[in-house]
Each structure stands twice: as C-alpha cells, then as structure tokens.
Structure 1
Amino acid sequence: MADPLTDGSALARVRSSLLSWFATDHRDFPWRRTTDPYAVLVSEVMLQQTQASRIAERFPIFMSRFPTAAALAAAGEAEVLVAWSGLGYNRRALALRRAAREVARHGWPQGVAALERLPGIGPYTARAIASLAFGEPVGVVDTNVRRWLVRRFGLRADRPPRDLQVLADGLAEAGHRADVAPWTHATMEFGASICTARNPRCNICPISDECPSRGAATVIPVPRQAAFAGSDRAHRGAILRALTRAPDQRMTMRVARGLVPPDAVGRLVAGLERDGLVHRSGARLVLGGAPEPAATIGS
C-alpha cells in the first residue's frame, strides 16, 4: 500500500469525493455561511467541548449581542459571562474576550503561527481561522478528522499527531484555493456525521470503496471524562449560574454556601477567583475578575 503521506492520486480522489458529498449532504449551521474571522473564532471557541446542535441556538444570539471583535472587547467580563451562561467551560468566554481585545487593538494576525499567539488560541483553532476565514490551505485536525484519516488511510491508531497533520495538510493543499473553506467544513462534517466513533455509516460513505476499515472500523481511543454530577466543575457551574441570574451579578457568600457542599465553598471560590471568573467585594461575591486598578497620572 502506498504511503498516504505521499500518494497524491489517493489524496485527490478523497478530496473530490468528499467535496461532492458535502455539496449536497451536510448539516446547515450559521457559522458555515460566513468567512468573517471573528465569527469563525466565536464559533470555534464555542464548539470546544459543546455539541454543535446547542451552539446552533446560542451562536446567533451571542453574535447579535457582540457582532464584532470591537463590541466584544468593549464589553465587561460580567456581561460576557452572562451571555455565555449555559455553554460551560466559562474560561473560554474570558479567553475569547481577551483575543477580541487583541484584535481590536492590532487587527487580525496573518498566518497560523501569528494566530496562535492570540490569547486562548491553540493550533487547531488557529488553523480553523486561517482556512475558513483567510483561505489558507492548511489541514484542521480535530477528534472527528483524526478518526477518519486513520480509518481511510489504514493507519495505526497511535500514529504520531505530526503524521496526521502532514496528511491533513497534504489533502488541504491538493485542491483549489476557492475550495479551502468547503473542504475544511467537509472534513469535520464527515467525521461527525458519517465516519462516527461508533456504528460508522459505511453503507452511505462516499469514500468507502477504497477504505481498508470498511465494516471493521477502528475504535480510536479517547480519554474518558470524569462524571460531571457532583464534580467540582458542576459545583463551580452552580455558583456561576446563580451569579449570572442574580441582581447586578452579585451574591453573598452565605448564598454560595447554600449552592454547594459548605466545606468546599472556600476552595471552589478561590479557584474561580484564580481563573478570573469572580472576585470578592466585601462580603459579596461578584461575577467577573477584579477591576483593574485605575491608571495614575503620568504612568
């Protein structure tokens, strides 16, 4: 079997088949209708750890409230956290705001390496923005894409991530620049809806004819998440949820103790403070990090 990293004809066939499939058979999400880099950034941050169907409801609301990077940059932390409430992993919202502030000040960085220097932006998100917003032919490898690359090209499940990135880049570079965004969407949609982790739909797969894993799909191991109920993450979420609903996004520590195990409240609040999600003002807990000290004259 030819090395998939260098077999140009195999890459071209996969590209052609997936693009034809995606053109007629894919889920319609609002973030797929735009190449605005800010909208791409917001959607990609939201989609981390949260199901696409849920984001489909919340993305338009968030974008209506903060339609540009400048609008998000100008908003207070508490306002952003209220808008984010219910999506989980609230530190994402603060990182998104910090990235928006950098963009509002300096404009959009050009290239994957420069995009990675934005707060909270890793290699995956940087590549997604580069390809979907700026048309750079770079591969975007998430869990879904990794799964189908391993299966379709007959790779070992423990193949080094670098090899998979090289393969994804080769696929991205094998087509026309006009196809960059559709190709990136197609790769992610295919893994999410056809080449799924369990019970892959090989019977309707557009690239199954040459797939060595057809009918015997490799199960790609993924780390198991700890149970949510009763976890620190659940308790932190309860405190933050109550704050987003409280008048002026404030509440007493006494109220906080009624939301979580009393012996854990101090530790939980301290963790939220370290993450910049809350701060204390006297006897009250306030949503958002502590206000920055006012600049002194001449500083």
Structure 2
Amino acid sequence: METKTKKFKRDILNWYNNNKRDYSWRETNDPWKILLLETISQQTQLDRADTYFKLFIEEFPSPATMASSSLKKVLILWSGLGYNNRARRLYESSKILSEKGFDELYPNFEVLPGVGPYTNNAILSFAYGEKVITRDVNVDRVFSRYFGLNNVENFVHNNKQPLLNRVSSRDLNQAIMDFGSMVCKSKNPLCSTCVLEKNCEKNIVKIKKSKETFSGSNRELRGALLKLLLNENIASLETIQKNLKTDKVKLLKAVSTLEKDGLITIKKNNLVEINS
C-alpha cells in the first residue's frame, strides 16, 4: 500500500502541476477568503463560485466589513446562488469572527455556523498548512476508485502519514479535488487518458441519486419569495401570493421554512419582512 500511495502522490501532483486551474484564491493563506470560497462553492460549479467570490471579497474584504453590513445586503449579493441559508450562516460567522478572529478559534472552526469537517480541514490546510486531508465528494471518489475502497474515512484515518509525508497538504488536496472534477468524474470518467489508470483499481460504483425537480419546487418558490422581499422589504401574504401566482398551501410552506432558517419574520396582519 505504501508503494501504491507514493505512486499516487507522484502521478497526481505531476498532473496538477500541468493542469491546475488558475484562480485568484488558489495561493492565498487568508482564512477569510478560504471560508468565503468554500461556503460559496457548496452545491456550485467552481467557475461560477469564483465569479461570486470576486464580488464578495471586493464588498467584504474582512469579517468585520460583513459584520458591520446587513443580512439583506449579503442576500442581495448572494442572489442567484440558491440555498440562501448559507448566506445567513456566513453572515453570522462574520459577526463571531469580527470579535474573536480565526487564530483565537484555531483549530476548531466548526464553532462557526455552517462549518463542518470539510470546511474546517480546508481552512486548516489552505490557511495554516496543517497536514490534513480535505475530504469532499471528489476526493472520496478518487480515493475509492484508485485504491478500491469501501470505506474512505477509515483509509484516510489509517494512511494520513504516508499520504501527507513530504508533500504540501494544500497542493495534494487541491490536486485531488481538481482531478476528481476534471478527470475522475462521477459520470463518464476519462479513464482512457487518465495518468492514474495503470495502477487504478477502477472501483467504479454507480450511485443513483434522487434529484428534486427545481421547477415548481419549494426551493424555487423560496427563491422567488426572497427575491421579491429583497426588492419590497415587506409585503403581505396576499400580495406575495398574487405576485408569485402560487397557491396558499405552497406559499405558507415556503414562508415557514424561510422563517425557520432565520431569513424572514412573519409580523402582525400577515405581513412578511426580510430580516436585516
């Protein structure tokens, strides 16, 4: 296994040196930039996430600048990304970070709203140079296929030292993520031109995903409702229903989930207001 691991690192880092995607945040060790990028890129293609990242970092170059702004302003900038509760969590995190700072929270960034093991490790690797593996779906897929694994978590735990020995965790993590996105794709992987193909176990498992249709979904209605309130600030349920051309049951469900996520407030006389 150790020899196979060495070959894996050598081949994937060589591939990365010749094929890595050029982004402004690639070489940064600013934990705020990394948190921004990782939050924005969830459920989002990286090129699109990069566009939004540039908008956000220009408007909010530090946690303090976002914390002194408003949730409404963050949501306006977020518009089009979907999953708006990510924006709220980012805003809440900025308030914590404007008082405590990353160094004070180090190494446990999971105390920040919306930060889980992956984002925590991304900050540790890319900002602090810690020897950790940032496991996302791309990384897990590459490990599973190449090493023939059923349990990637156990593999990473047991092989952390040989995987990260004498390499930059930043380079290795970004190399595997790029490789999984560009070559070892979930559908139609490019095995015939893959630099790892010779030693790969080709443990390709087809996973059927049930995907909700966006058109007519609660997600679509939530987005439309939030967009309306970003323009109007406050509106009655009757006005919202008329503007969005939806039935009352679906509207009440969307309103309820947005209120639960802390994005809106239901006031007296059936008025709905966006939180600021």
**Could you state the TM-score of these two structures normalised by the residue count of structure 2?**
0.91
- 1:162 corresponds, among 142, 147, 153, to 153
Name the amino acid aligned to 1:55: A
Per-residue CA deviations over 1:249-288 (Å, capped at 9, x if unaligned) read 3333233112132332223212211211111345542222
Cα gap change, 1:151/1:201 in structure 2, threshold over 3 Å: closer, same or farther?
same
Q: Deviations over 1:213-267 (max 9, x none)?
A: 1xxx6135264222211111111111012222x14x3333233112132332223
Q: Does residue 241 of structure 2 align to residue 257 of structure 1?
A: yes
Do the aligned residues in 2 keep the contact of 1:15 with 1:175 (CA within 8 Å)? no
Distance 1:51-1:171 versus aligned 2 partners, 3 A rule: farther
Q: Residue 141 in 1 paired to residue 135 in 2?
A: yes
Distance 1:172 1:119 in 2: 30
Aligned residues: 271
Pick closer, same or farther for the CA change 1:162–1:12 going to 2, 3 Å. Answer: same
TM-score when normalising by structure 1: 0.84
Deviations 1:65-105 (A, max 9, x none): 11111111222111111111110100001111111222211
Match of residue 119 from structure 1: 113
Report the CA distance between 1:125 and its aligned residue: 0.8
Match of 2:273 in 1: 286
**Contact kept in structure 2, 1:139 and 1:168, CA below 8 Å:** no
Q: Aligned residue for 1:274?
A: 260
Counterpart position of 1:207: 196
Cα distance between partner residues in 1 of 2:13 and 2:259: 46
Relative distance call for 1:118 and 1:66 in structure 2 (3 A) is same
Q: CA contact under 8 A between 1:95 and 1:119: conserved in structure 2?
A: yes
- Secondary structure of 1:218's aligned partner: coil
SS of match in other structure, 1:41: helix
State whether residues 125 and 131 of structure 2, in contact with CA within 8 Å, keep that contact through their aligned partners in structure 1: yes
Deviation string, structure 1 residues 163-183 (Cα, Å, up to 9, x no partner): 14326734542223xx22121
Counterpart of 1:267 in structure 2: which amino acid? K
Q: Does 1:225 align with 2:211?
A: yes
RMSD over equivalenced CA pairs, Å? 1.9
Instruction: Tell which deviates more after alignment, 139-148 or 264-273.
Output: 264-273
The yes-or-no answer on 1:36 pairing with 2:30 is: yes
| Alignment CA distance shift 1:184-1:250 (3 Å) | same
Paired AA for residue 255 in structure 1: T
Matches within 5 A, 1:1-299: 7-108=1-102, 109-111=105-107, 114-155=108-149, 159-166=150-157, 169-170=160-161, 172-176=163-167, 179-213=168-202, 218-221=204-207, 223-244=209-230, 246-247=231-232, 249-258=233-242, 259=244, 260-283=246-269, 284-288=271-275
What displacement does 1:162 show?
Answer: 2.6
**What is the SS of the residue equivalent to 1:227?**
coil
Asked whether the 8 Å contact 1:172–1:180 carries over to 2, the reply is no
Deviations 1:175-222 (A, max 9, x none): 23xx22121111100100010112211222222221121xxx613526
Structure 2 residues without counterparts, runs of 5 or longer:
none
Amino acid of the structure 2 residue aligned with 1:196: K
Distance 1:52 1:34, change over 3 A: same
